[in-house]
Amino acid sequence: MATAGKVIKCRAAVIWEAGQIPSVEEVEVAPPRTHEIRVKIVATGICRTDDHVAVGLFPGISYPVIVGHEAAGIVESVGPEVTCVKPGDKVIPLCVPQCGECASCLNPKSNCCLKGHVCQPQNLMPDKTSRFTCRGKQVYHFLWTSTFSEYTVMPEASIAKIDDAAPLEKVCLFGCGFSTGYGAAINSAKVEPGSTCAIFGLGGVGLSIIMGCKTAGASRIIGIDINKDKFAKAKELGATDCISPNDFTKPIEKVLVEMTGLGVDYSFEAIGRIDTEVAALASSRLGSGTCVLVGEPPSGSQLTFDPRLILTGRKLIGSFLGDWKLKEALPKLVSDYMNRCINPDALISHTLPFEKIAEGFELLRAGKSIRCVLVF
């Protein structure tokens, strides 16, 4: 392309400091270096984690920063030694990389790539420099994705090539929310046909867990949320019951045990709160239930609970980005979408032009959106 090897000036949303929502600016994006790829982002969803950075709740972040990690786009140019994609390919950025070489990538049971942000918190490219500048200042990267920019640069490990026919303004959700929730049910819990499930939190992630439970053949799927506006969509996607803790005087775990006899076979926490994590564990079935933690509580939180809850046969497990090895899993998930086996389209409650990103953040904070997709 005519822009290959050159600095590109384009729109991006910069968070200048914690406590500010992203502001749309003109930024300069340097060309990709060795093993890097520059991508034209076509569509990007807003995830709660992006807001955590805006609010200042995400650990280890340097500002100014460009966030965004749930997107789809087209390769504009590639740096030296890139082999996995070429200009023009449709791609999804990976907020958890798959380098293919580290101990986690070589372990079939783990997707926690040791080069990723969880193991090595960093706001810069692997060579410790940034490709972004704005108003003469260096701007930091986020999760090696920074998709709230019309053009962004990412390492080869953080990109998956997808079907040329995929609609980018829809499949962007595979980059985070849908894959996180759907995989928690399918891969982490391995929900079985005929089982009972409880999902705490009916945001985009919780609703994707519901879709996973339904696909796996669960017979009863109970959604729990304090915002009853979420119930209609949860039922449309497969929840058989929806309840609000605010409608009961007794603890919600007691309500769930009474509803199911001994508790649910699988409980999921998709809120990111310590109290609901303990409630989810206590709602799982005595002797055989599994509780899956999906939501990330504020940094520094400590989980405490009566150990008898697990000594009596319950299992407590965690799920990280749906336990997918994303580089190899995303092309298949997108194929399943193209073959109409899975369909997260219903999660998209709003589609806005990129310039209206502040409105997208307001919708998220007001609990009015499930997923807001921004299109460039």
> Between the CA atoms of 303, 304, 305 and 307, what dihedral angle is there, to the nearest 10 degrees?
100
Picking from 159, 185, 131, 129, the residue whose alpha carbon sits closest to that of residue 69 is 159
Q: Which stretch binds Zn ion (CB under 5 A): 103-111, 132-140, 193-201, 303-311?
A: 103-111
**CA-wise closest residue to 376 among 163, 76, 142, 48:** 76
Q: Map the footprint of Zn ion across residues 166-195, applying CB under 5 A.
A: 176
Pick from 43, 211, 257, 271: which binds ligand COD (CB under 6 A)? Answer: 271
Closest chain position to ligand COD (CB)? 203
What does the alpha-carbon distance between residue 234 and residue 202 come to, in Å, rounded to a whole number? 7
Interaction partner, residue 344 (ligand COD, Zn ion, none; CB < 5-8 Å by kind): none
89 contacts which partner out of Zn ion, ligand COD, none, CB within 5 to 8 A by kind? none
Q: Which of residues 31-70 bind Zn ion (CB under 5 A)?
A: 47, 49
Q: Is the dihedral of CA 55, 60, 63, 65 positive or negative?
A: negative
List the alpha helices (DSSP H) in the chain: 48-55, 103-106, 168-171, 177-183, 204-215, 231-237, 252-260, 274-283, 308-311, 326-338, 357-365
Does the footprint of ligand COD cover residue 199 (CB under 6 A)? Answer: no
d(CA 181, CA 294): 8
Out of ligand COD, Zn ion, none, what residue 105 binds, judged by CB under 5 to 8 A for its kind, is: Zn ion
- Candidates 46-54, 58-66, 73-81, 282-290 — which segment interacts with ligand COD by CB under 6 A? 46-54
Binding residue for ligand COD (CB under 6 A) from 49, 147, 187, 196? 49
**Applying CB under 5 A, does 102 fall inside the site for Zn ion?**
yes
- Residue pair 321/96 in contact (Cβ under 8 Å)? The answer is yes
Nearer to ligand COD, 206 or 289 (CB): 206
Q: How far apart are CA 145 and CA 53, in angstroms?
A: 14
Q: Is residue 226 part of the contact set for ligand COD (CB under 6 A)?
A: yes
Quick one: which of 15, 34, 16, 18 has its CA closest to 125? 34
Binding site for Zn ion (CB under 5 A): 47, 49, 99, 102, 105, 113, 176
Binding site for ligand COD (CB under 6 A): 47-49, 95, 176-177, 180, 200-206, 224-227, 230, 245, 270-273, 276, 294-296, 320-321, 367
